[in-house]
Amino acid sequence: MSNNTVRLHRVLRTTPEKIYRAFLEEDAMARWLPPDGFTARVYEMDPQVGGSYKMSFTNFTTGHGHSFGGTYLELVPHTRICYTSKFDDPNLPGEMKTSVDLKLVSCGTEIKIEQSGIPEVIPPEACYLGWQDSLVHLAKLVEPEITD
């Protein structure tokens, strides 16, 4: 198993409820999670403890993609999400674990993400770059207050 781990921290101008929903709704995940230059497709999502998900990312330039899925380990509404991820590609072995902690703060929501078990062939720096793109997309999805 890989020891590669990345940790991210942000404060977003929104509620924990909106961020929590963005992690558990198919259309939202397909919109914000893929890093720049990629599209995403969600094939299944059963957001309950023990439930699973399956999705893929496709490189828009090359058309190459990779699929992955996992299981929800912990869901504490508006507070914590923990899930596993495993690539279908045998060249990307192992199981990753992602933990997302949400905390209401004076100006929005503090979000802390830890992803561990990243396959050795993926440089941690590439994961940081991908997550940075994803978190910018997440902010653009959850921060606007559109009322109609």
pLDDT digits (tens, 9 = 90+) for 126-139: 999 999 999 999 99
Q: In 3-state terms, what secondary structure has residue 93? A: coil
Neighbours of 60 (CB within 10 A): 12
- pLDDT for 23-76, tens place per residue? 999 999 999 999 999 999 999 999 999 999 999 999 999 999 999 999 999 999
Q: What integer is the mean pLDDT of 110-123?
A: 95
**Residue 147 lies inside a defined structural domain of this protein:** no
- Tell me what the pLDDT averaged over the chain comes to: 96
Structure tokens at 26: 């198919």
Rounded Cα gap, residues 37 and 43, in angstroms: 20
**Residue 90 lies inside a defined structural domain of this protein:** yes
**Residue 54 lies inside a defined structural domain of this protein:** yes
| Residue 129 main-chain phi, psi, to 5 deg | -60, -45
pLDDT at 2: 58
pLDDT at 143: 97
**Residue 45 lies inside a defined structural domain of this protein:** yes
Strand order in the sheet with 38-45: 4-12, 108-118, 96-105, 80-87, 65-76, 52-59, 38-45
**Residue 148 lies inside a defined structural domain of this protein:** no
The domain total for the chain is 1
CATH number of the domain encompassing residue 68: 3.30.530.20
Full domain range(s) for residue 23 = 4-142
**Residue 63 lies inside a defined structural domain of this protein:** yes
Q: Which residues on neighbouring strands pair with residue 7, listed in sequence order?
A: 114
